[in-house]
Amino acid sequence: MIVRGRERRRDLRLDVDAAVVGSGAGGAMMARELSARGLRVALLEMGGHHRPADFTAVEADMLEELFQERGARATRDLSVRVLQGRGVGGSTVHNTCLCKRAPAELLARWKREHAVSGASPAELDPAYAATEQELGVRELGPDDLNRNNALFRRGVEALGYRGGFLHHNRAGCRGAGYCELGCPFDAKQNALKVLVPAALEHGAWVVSDARVERVETRRGRARGVSGSLLDALGRPHARFEVDARVVCLAASAVGSAALHARSGLPDPSGLAGTTLRLHPGGVVAGLFDEEVVGWRGVPQSYECTEFLSFAEDAAKRRVWLVPVFAHPIGTAVQLSGFGAAHGELMRRYRHVAAVTAMVHDTTRGRVRVEASGRIRIDYWPNHDDRAQLALGLREGARILLAAGARRVLVPFEPDPLWIDDAAGLAAIDAAAIRRHRLPLTAVHPMGTLPLGDDPARAVVDSRGEHHAVGGLFVCDGSLFPTSLGVPPQLSIYSFARHLAPHVAAAC
Ligand SMILES: Cc1cc2nc3c(=O)[nH]c(=O)nc-3n(C[C@H](O)[C@H](O)[C@H](O)COP(=O)(O)OP(=O)(O)OC[C@H]3O[C@@H](n4cnc5c(N)ncnc54)[C@H](O)[C@@H]3O)c2cc1C
């Protein structure tokens, strides 16, 4: 049953086996898995419930409708922009469909250093394999490369770096290039298209515009959630209460940690909300004589993993390189300067190819809730992560030059750094990565309610259940005890699937 909170002005009360908070990768998978087992499920989502026709590809409108804080979520000091989804399907609605399993070396480290059990590659394989099949994950090929990605590949190959095609969960893609604004052609095999309809078929309640404000507990056990139904402008206009035997937090690494704090839940390890990882990323842009028209086609189809390793001795190679492209508003906020100089750069938009360097970070950020109720994110990459960022930007620039870029721009503020040849690359070093001097963006928040069997070092156990609150589970990106180093959605979907039998057993 679908309830659109923005259209309902009356209070709502539900009595279910499981209340799932947030309908992104983790929440939609959990809701589908539990409802398929015959359990009564309420999937509660603070954003709207959209259809493909609602995805108008108008950037300003979609930022407002599909992203947290209208696309303006950022760390408190505004040094890192944090892009996250809001709406049924969560961040899977506007992500770029990259799918990668968690590296085996990383899972081994989680077992060794974080007491995570039951999550070896072999133990996770059934969940990964089933998710890949269900979401139609396949490896892309040369025909899927747009010009931006083809130039990147040319540079990677010219330098002899390790690169390869990415795997995606898209089918029937028309290459329109509006992935980050929601797919009007419904080609994404994501939570909104695949899992939420399946949960509905199994009898789940899907309540949109329903902001959960509190996890209710009694005698140390979760017993439900409560919150506000929001109108189309996001203002509360009715209340809801859901009684449940089990509550699953899937409101994202930021949203779940905030709800944990807001609800005043016990936190024996003191870790809740204090281990935020972001995969912070910076961008370099190459100016080409030819037209690149990077906004057309599949945005990200090829990767460079030359500087990313998960081996024990790989601390110095923690940066992943991939082409990136933004629509005009996104590009404008990334570019340096103002006025005429900024306008001049924007006029070259058709000729730009861009690369992002994303760090497999070790920094611990924080998610808190201010007295006003507003979410506060504190994060600034530590020295080692800034060094990795500098390495990535240098190598991204080198790749663009090798691909034939006339010049490469590093969008430092207030004045960009222009690099004309390899000799100029040394100017990008860790010291140059300073707050507000280089715009950073994060699209992979994770790790705020980490799992592990030692209650002193983890918030939830390896089955996803809270160490101090019975019947409270976590099933989103908050779970990861370190940053993942690869795009997280496939692991989030698959962990939720993997943990679902434990949640079902607790209902
Ligand atoms: C632009 C962009 C591109 C990306 N591209 C990729 C990619 O190609 N591959 C990849 O692996 N990852 C990608 N990601 C990241 C990926 O989409 C996320 O890591 C993943 O969706 C996170 O899953 P989640 O379940 O933790 O949270 P989300 O998918 O973010 O879902 C959380 C949901 O909870 C809701 N919520 C929050 N608070 C509350 C509350 N109090 N009450 C009710 N509901 C609440 C939110 O509105 C949201 O819908 C991208 C992200 C962005 C922003």
Predicted local distance difference test score (pLDDT) of residue 315: 67
Confirm if 487 and 100 have CB atoms less than 8 A apart: yes
pLDDT digits (tens, 9 = 90+) for 355-387: 999 999 999 999 999 999 999 999 999 999 999
Q: Would you tell me how many other CB atoms lie within 10 Å of the CB of residue 369?
A: 17
Ligand 1 centroid–CA 347 distance in Å is: 32
Predicted local distance difference test score (pLDDT) of residue 432: 85
Residue whose tokens read 């945005």:
299
**SS3 of residue 361 by DSSP:** coil
Q: Residue 26 — φ and ψ, nearest 5°? A: -75, -45
Confidence class for position 329, pLDDT limits 50, 70, 90: confident
444 catalytically annotated? yes
Q: Please state, in angstroms and rounded to a whole number, the distance separating the CA atoms of residues 395 and 148.
A: 16
Ligand 1 centroid–CA 422 distance in Å is: 38
Binding site membership of 22 for ligand 1 (Cβ less than 6 Å): yes
DSSP per residue, 344-359: HHHTTGGGEEEEEEEE
Q: Please state, in angstroms and rounded to a whole number, the distance separating the CA atoms of residues 285 and 241.
A: 49
Ligand 1 centroid–CA 242 distance in Å is: 23
State the amino acid at position 399 in one-letter form.
I
Q: Taking 90 as the threshold, does the pLDDT of residue 335 lie above it?
A: no
Confidence class for position 330, pLDDT limits 50, 70, 90: confident
CA 476 to chain centre: 10
Ligand 1 centroid–CA 160 distance in Å is: 34
Instruction: Please tell me what DSSP assigns to residue 417.
Output: E
Residue of minimum CA distance from atom 49 in ligand 1 = 90
Instruction: Please tell me what DSSP assigns to residue 122.
Output: H
Q: Residue 390 — φ and ψ, nearest 5°? A: -65, -45
pLDDT digits (tens, 9 = 90+) for 395-427: 999 999 999 999 999 999 888 899 999 999 999
Record the tokens describing residue 7, joined without a space.
């259209």
Confirm if 432 and 241 have CB atoms less than 8 A apart: no
Q: Residue 282 — φ and ψ, nearest 5°? A: -120, 170
Domains of the chain by start residue, with CATH: 2-60+89-134+186-273+447-506 (3.50.50.60), 139-168+278-442 (3.30.410)
**pLDDT average, residue stretch 307-328:** 88
Q: Taking 80 as the threshold, does the pLDDT of residue 313 lie above it?
A: no
What does the mean pLDDT of the chain come to?
96
Ligand 1 pocket test, candidate residues 33, 70, 91, 241, most atoms within 8 A of CB:
91
**pLDDT average, residue stretch 302-325:** 90
Ligand 1 centroid–CA 390 distance in Å is: 27
Residue of minimum CA distance from atom 7 in ligand 1 = 98
* Catalytic position from the list 49, 360, 444, 498: 444
Predicted local distance difference test score (pLDDT) of residue 336: 78
Confirm if 490 and 136 have CB atoms less than 8 A apart: no
Q: Helices 104-114 and 121-134, interaxial angle, to 10°?
A: 130
Q: Taking 80 as the threshold, does the pLDDT of residue 497 lie above it?
A: yes
Predicted local distance difference test score (pLDDT) of residue 314: 63
Q: Taking 90 as the threshold, does the pLDDT of residue 338 lie above it?
A: no
Binding site membership of 282 for ligand 1 (Cβ less than 6 Å): no
Identify the bridge partners of residue 217 per DSSP, sorted by sequence position.
Answer: 222
pLDDT digits (tens, 9 = 90+) for 33-62: 999 999 999 999 999 999 999 999 999 999
Q: Would you tell me how many other CB atoms lie within 10 Å of the CB of residue 109?
A: 16
Record the tokens describing residue 146, joined without a space.
């747009």
pLDDT digits (tens, 9 = 90+) for 166-210: 999 999 999 999 999 999 999 999 999 999 999 999 999 999 999
Binding site membership of 23 for ligand 1 (Cβ less than 6 Å): yes
Binding site membership of 212 for ligand 1 (Cβ less than 6 Å): yes
Binding site membership of 169 for ligand 1 (Cβ less than 6 Å): no
Binding site membership of 84 for ligand 1 (Cβ less than 6 Å): yes
Binding site membership of 267 for ligand 1 (Cβ less than 6 Å): no
Q: Please state, in angstroms and rounded to a whole number, the distance separating the CA atoms of residues 325 and 23.
A: 26
Residue of minimum CA distance from atom 23 in ligand 1 = 25
Confirm if 256 and 480 have CB atoms less than 8 A apart: no
Gyration radius of the chain's alpha carbons = 22
For the chain, the helix, strand and coil percentages under 3-state DSSP, each to the nearest 5: 35, 25, 40
State the amino acid at position 174 in one-letter form.
R
Q: Taking 70 as the threshold, does the pLDDT of residue 27 lie above it?
A: yes
Ligand 1 centroid–CA 84 distance in Å is: 5
